[in-house]
Structure 1
């Protein structure tokens, strides 16, 4: 990226435009040669320029062991090249053929109960199995040798939505090897896992196994390390997959489609091995009158995936209409396809792609939405929506490669997520870590404050405001980084149940919040879990520097804290800790560190709080104006021009008064005067262009 332009090059130099297309499964239609010709015709009508091909095509490519059939794929890719259409060519490891499961049952996964699965589903294979690794390497080598120089190929779509775990003997040995490399000795492992509890001390490496429902599940360090191992082993398998691809052509980028806030894999670690981030987004639109809750969740995910590599990402899958697997498969209402697709662009995506191009005729996803319906022609509402969006994307090429200039960051770590949800702490019926993160993010989203989603090992220094929700697992070195961040002038906001354990899930001694006690100026003595019907109140102190007044409802969690040099901004209203601190601020060096000791339920509190924190920290908003509820603004910039995406998820028509800067409509080129009252219809979006501020 140029230091002056703040713009990245296109994901592929072959296609310097927004990628618009879908997963394409021609192997399902080999019995009907006319389908390919008709698909090419309609791809052009829909302004689609890229397809993902071969994602579950193993048996079509290798119908018998060692017998390869590439002719059909040759024909598809050659036809693409003749018609100006490009492809992300997939490795087919997401679902292996039945002949392999029959001949080599070791490739099938073993569950936590130690029972081996039957053939079926997807990703029902062991990432450690030598046979499966050998077969994948053979297939990927042949694909790379045959297609790496094909003019239609933009890059590799490696497997599909990695996930799951295996507990077979191969994986048990691999887990023990992983632990030996990490700890070096059984003594070190036993100390880290605190196995003296319940006499769980291991005296031989052979005694160590993965957690099992009929065995060990109560050693929290062991549970945490198993999750880390599963994630690392999956990443290792991915590296095994791409090795033959890179050996033939190291310049072709590799991606793997990730899933929204997926629990089982540490995507931040995974991202280090991936050339370009891509993910699959399937919002449950129209669950309520306002779509703001769903929109903010997916905005968070867009920001997360952009933040993994701090550059544009790919929306690899979405649906142009509906899914077939959600509890209620709701059609997208008019305007929502455009709005939800451009939401991804607003947060940094340089592609809009779908699952899938043509609806399958049978099996589990035959009713999943697609660009081409079972009727088989272009005269449908969905096709028209897709074609219209394709025109819009073709006209937004200047936005391609631009960045999101976030000055606010939210800390989100996978190992913290795993640890806090396994803590057996104050609310075993629901600690609600993810909801706590989203509570903070939603307020920033409503305010139109661009945000990055970062990890403990990332650099904090480029931000003005750092938000730390429920950092239960907090390393000493991370605490030191936050201390320096505040000392150097940053604003830190930390919530309850932070700084409780270290990286091994061992409690910090000498008082919570552990490494942050000095920075925050508080000691958290104990935490009270509230029943669902229990309520308390955050009573704001008169004249507090945040300018907040009144009482805000508290539920679920209340920490009993002591101010140790920090100023009290709000206190508890009820219970034996009434009048005790609930919200504090500590001036530390050139910055400020805030601590919220309880879960406030009122969204208005967070909007008012973050509005004040952002203002005081000098954090930029996409628009310096009041935004109606459910309407947000997101910003991309190339350093010379800003592109502001004003999005209406409120479920009703809305008006936004623009700030005092001059704008043009990025689609029409028409001037938009400063102070204009922008009219947004239901599910409406406006893309505005302005001169960037220095």
Structure 2
């Protein structure tokens, strides 16, 4: 990837577009793409559109587009959508329909303007055979075409029956319970447990034969069957990706294979935090557990380049009520940016830890739909911020969804850079300028190394599944991660998301944070013990490892881990606040006490040997935070509290913890209004540095920024503006317009 990849999705057929485009329209579109700095187009081939009969593929339009693209100097990524089943395949393989937990078969619809939606179950051998013929024929036809750039076997991975469908009951939205998937699940269980007696021991069941085993269909107090069922579905989804990727790779080993997901498995798509009388909950839609069913750390290494989509349904549709009040417009915008940041960092880490690159694979050209399409400068600023947030996190490209407006389904009329007739708009012009800016900055960044993170937040898919199965949503697990991430993001501490499976494989962090650490296997506890034994510092929250891998109460920790920790979590209390002595964490922290609000759970902690009590519960005086052997134990869920309650004290506490671990910020920002977020990400090459500075607020600000790099005089080039500054003692005064980006390149003077 010599240049920053910049492309667009191109719809040319009946789905979304409503008709086939003519030769003249296609030629004009592709000519305009080149004019407006598009370097690559994604040509998505839907099974129902292309496989018009069992032995006939209709590719005349695709042929023409490939030829014109080559003539105009464009490259083409060919993507596949198998979730649009041809009517002949539906008739031929009627037993391949998805089946809900209620036992009802899914019938077909235009869905998201996709005929044959949501496709047929990939566990059906006949369906697999038909798709192998479809994919294989397309790859063999185009693998030597001079316009081909890459392939995408699955345009946006998710478990399609759960998508965009209204169900009358929750059980109608659980899939797939067809005989092929259930049989595959039984074989998976037999491989995992080796005998029916071992399954009975784990599940607390009394089966006599594998044929008696059924996947769970109701959520309740028992979660062990859900832990296995959802883990199987995720692994099954991964196996489908491997199979589809292999169809392409064996026929064309020369061109790279891309794939992308709606958002990272750490994030949750289009979610709202809503208030209740006590606590809060998450309306869980398109999460790793519900419908996406993917683990990025397992999916990324299958392909050559990974990616994600960035699509809130509305820029202001995040966390509508968190603190018992309606959020301001600016708070909603910043929270949307926060969610994007978390998902970008999670995808970055999944790719770094598996040695892959990633791109922003779908970014809307416009928001809206039938009743409220909109585009204005605020949207463009957000679009620009998100792409630079990606570049600041080592993304290698962006693809805009889409070139023309959709004219069918709920997407219409929106998302296009052009209007529904293919005429360029203001959107086309501003995105062309954005492409120039990104490529200009990437020419510096591509030879530099991103300033690395010394803090890792540990992510466990099992915790998410347990949370969803036990409570019905991800309102504790995900928001515990988000709370710590939010505080560190606001303070400009670089942070990584560390998958629990990769804990022993990644670098030595100065600090690991274990949010909502309820459920761990014995092998995972062994990895935690090894990290602590090496001298790493950690934050461990309440209810630590209280459940084993099956979700059953763990009576006691492994002896060697318990001895190393030097404390035990004890009685559950009814408390509202913790009073902390920050100077217990180091001389730089103040001696004045700090009061931390509690959102959920108060658990006392007992020191088993020499350690220090850092904080106590305000009402009872029982130990709430203790420091023992490089582990800071917190008797509540502090990340969750920061999302639910907010407040300066929690932000300060996270800052003190980072300093206790010896971690430095990328930069320190002074002279801005309260709650203004100025994000700074950095790169380095020998004695040169580059910083991407983003003003997430809607105000014009002039912050004084101290960059934490070796002290000396630097000449600073503002790359986008073309101006030059001098940095004295690493300080720069910088004017930033609302929702603005600045890129500063530091060279020693």
TM-score of the two chains, using structure 2 as the length reference: 0.82
Are the structure 2 counterparts of residues 553 and 498 from structure 1 closer, same or farther at C-alpha, using a change threshold of 3 Å? Answer: same
Counterpart position of 1:84 = 73
In the TM superposition, residue 230 of structure 1 has moved relative to its aligned partner by 0.7
**Contact 2:458–2:515 (Cα < 8 Å) also in 1:** yes
Counterpart position of 1:4 = none
**Contact 2:406–2:415 (Cα < 8 Å) also in 1:** no
What SS class does the counterpart of residue 109 from structure 1 fall into? coil
What SS class does the counterpart of residue 680 from structure 1 fall into? coil
Are the structure 2 counterparts of residues 609 and 514 from structure 1 closer, same or farther at C-alpha, using a change threshold of 3 Å? Answer: farther
Give me the whole-angstrom Cα distance separating, in 2, the residues matched to 1:537 and 1:560.
13
**Contact 2:82–2:119 (Cα < 8 Å) also in 1:** no
In the TM superposition, residue 443 of structure 1 has moved relative to its aligned partner by 0.8
Are the structure 2 counterparts of residues 328 and 225 from structure 1 closer, same or farther at C-alpha, using a change threshold of 3 Å? Answer: farther
What SS class does the counterpart of residue 305 from structure 1 fall into? helix
Are the structure 2 counterparts of residues 42 and 429 from structure 1 closer, same or farther at C-alpha, using a change threshold of 3 Å? Answer: closer
What SS class does the counterpart of residue 173 from structure 1 fall into? helix
Counterpart position of 1:251 = 254
In the TM superposition, residue 598 of structure 1 has moved relative to its aligned partner by 1.6
Select between 436-445 and 274-283 the one with higher mean Cα deviation: 274-283
- Give 1:537's match in structure 2, choosing from 565, 577, 595: 577
Deviations 1:360-382 (A, max 9, x none): 2222321232211235322x332
Deviations 1:9-58 (A, max 9, x none): x2xxxxx2111111111224524322212211221232111111124x32
Give me the whole-angstrom Cα distance separating, in 1, the residues matched to 2:384 and 2:697.
15
Deviations 1:425-463 (A, max 9, x none): xxx898522111100000111111222111112124432
Give me the whole-angstrom Cα distance separating, in 2, the residues matched to 1:639 and 1:60.
53
**Contact 1:94–1:160 (Cα < 8 Å) also in 2:** no
Counterpart position of 2:236 = 233
Deviations 1:572-593 (A, max 9, x none): 112xxx1111112112xxxx21
- Give 2:626's match in structure 1, choosing from 563, 574, 584: 584
Q: Does 1:321 align with 2:372?
A: no
In the TM superposition, residue 145 of structure 1 has moved relative to its aligned partner by 0.7
What SS class does the counterpart of residue 41 from structure 1 fall into? helix
Are the structure 2 counterparts of residues 206 and 330 from structure 1 closer, same or farther at C-alpha, using a change threshold of 3 Å? Answer: farther
Counterpart position of 2:336 = 294
Counterpart position of 1:270 = 299
Give me the whole-angstrom Cα distance separating, in 1, the residues matched to 2:545 and 2:625.
17
- Give 1:610's match in structure 2, choosing from 654, 661, 683: 654
Are the structure 2 counterparts of residues 550 and 68 from structure 1 closer, same or farther at C-alpha, using a change threshold of 3 Å? Answer: closer
Select between 116-125 and 85-94 the one with higher mean Cα deviation: 116-125
Select between 300-309 and 553-562 the one with higher mean Cα deviation: 553-562
What count of residue pairs does the alignment treat as equivalent? 653
Q: Does 1:673 align with 2:726?
A: yes
Q: Does 1:502 align with 2:488?
A: no
Are the structure 2 counterparts of residues 593 and 96 from structure 1 closer, same or farther at C-alpha, using a change threshold of 3 Å? Answer: same
Are the structure 2 counterparts of residues 691 and 496 from structure 1 closer, same or farther at C-alpha, using a change threshold of 3 Å? Answer: farther
Counterpart position of 2:479 = 435
Give me the whole-angstrom Cα distance separating, in 2, the residues matched to 1:217 and 1:438.
26
- Give 1:71's match in structure 2, choosing from 60, 65, 81: 60
Give me the whole-angstrom Cα distance separating, in 1, the residues matched to 2:107 and 2:447.
45
**Contact 2:606–2:623 (Cα < 8 Å) also in 1:** yes
Q: Does 1:108 align with 2:108?
A: no
Counterpart position of 1:204 = 209
Give me the whole-angstrom Cα distance separating, in 1, the residues matched to 2:156 and 2:66.
23
Select between 327-336 and 100-109 the one with higher mean Cα deviation: 327-336
**Contact 1:541–1:571 (Cα < 8 Å) also in 2:** no
**Contact 2:12–2:21 (Cα < 8 Å) also in 1:** no
**Contact 1:302–1:348 (Cα < 8 Å) also in 2:** no
Give me the whole-angstrom Cα distance separating, in 1, the residues matched to 2:202 and 2:686.
48
Alignment map for 1:459-498 (pairs within 5 Å): 459-498=505-544
**Contact 2:8–2:400 (Cα < 8 Å) also in 1:** yes
In the TM superposition, residue 515 of structure 1 has moved relative to its aligned partner by 7.9
Select between 408-417 and 651-660 the one with higher mean Cα deviation: 651-660
In the TM superposition, residue 267 of structure 1 has moved relative to its aligned partner by 2.4
What SS class does the counterpart of residue 579 from structure 2 fall into? strand
Counterpart position of 2:392 = 346
Q: Does 1:309 align with 2:347?
A: no
Counterpart position of 2:141 = 146
In the TM superposition, residue 414 of structure 1 has moved relative to its aligned partner by 1.3
Counterpart position of 2:279 = none
- Give 1:47's match in structure 2, choosing from 15, 24, 37: 37
What SS class does the counterpart of residue 555 from structure 1 fall into? coil
Deviations 1:337-385 (A, max 9, x none): 211221111122111212111112222321232211235322x332222
**Contact 2:360–2:397 (Cα < 8 Å) also in 1:** yes
**Contact 2:31–2:72 (Cα < 8 Å) also in 1:** no
Q: Does 1:634 align with 2:644?
A: no
Deviations 1:453-503 (A, max 9, x none): 111121244321211101222233333333332333322112223312222
Give me the whole-angstrom Cα distance separating, in 2, the residues matched to 1:160 and 1:371.
20
Counterpart position of 1:22 = 8
Give me the whole-angstrom Cα distance separating, in 1, the residues matched to 2:92 and 2:671.
61
- Give 2:132's match in structure 1, choosing from 115, 130, 137: 137
Select between 39-48 and 317-326 the one with higher mean Cα deviation: 317-326
Counterpart position of 2:694 = 647
In the TM superposition, residue 668 of structure 1 has moved relative to its aligned partner by 4.6
What SS class does the counterpart of residue 585 from structure 2 fall into? coil
**Contact 1:348–1:636 (Cα < 8 Å) also in 2:** no
Counterpart position of 1:554 = 598
Counterpart position of 2:567 = 522
Counterpart position of 2:275 = none
Select between 298-307 and 368-377 the one with higher mean Cα deviation: 368-377
TM-score of the two chains, using structure 1 as the length reference: 0.88
Q: Does 1:178 align with 2:188?
A: yes
Give me the whole-angstrom Cα distance separating, in 2, the residues matched to 1:308 and 1:92.
24
Deviations 1:106-146 (A, max 9, x none): 23211111111111334442120111111110011111111
Alignment map for 1:374-389 (pairs within 5 Å): 374=420, 376-378=422-424, 380-389=425-434
**Contact 2:29–2:422 (Cα < 8 Å) also in 1:** no
**Contact 2:682–2:692 (Cα < 8 Å) also in 1:** yes
Q: Which has the higher contact order (CA 8 A, sep 6+)?
A: 1
What SS class does the counterpart of residue 357 from structure 2 fall into? coil
What SS class does the counterpart of residue 395 from structure 1 fall into? helix
In the TM superposition, residue 174 of structure 1 has moved relative to its aligned partner by 0.4
Are the structure 2 counterparts of residues 183 and 627 from structure 1 closer, same or farther at C-alpha, using a change threshold of 3 Å? Answer: farther
Q: Which runs of 5+ in 1 are unaligned?
A: 1-9, 11-15
Give me the whole-angstrom Cα distance separating, in 2, the residues matched to 1:50 and 1:490.
45
Counterpart position of 1:365 = 411
In the TM superposition, residue 411 of structure 1 has moved relative to its aligned partner by 0.6
Are the structure 2 counterparts of residues 672 and 520 from structure 1 closer, same or farther at C-alpha, using a change threshold of 3 Å? Answer: farther
Give me the whole-angstrom Cα distance separating, in 2, the residues matched to 1:643 and 1:35.
42
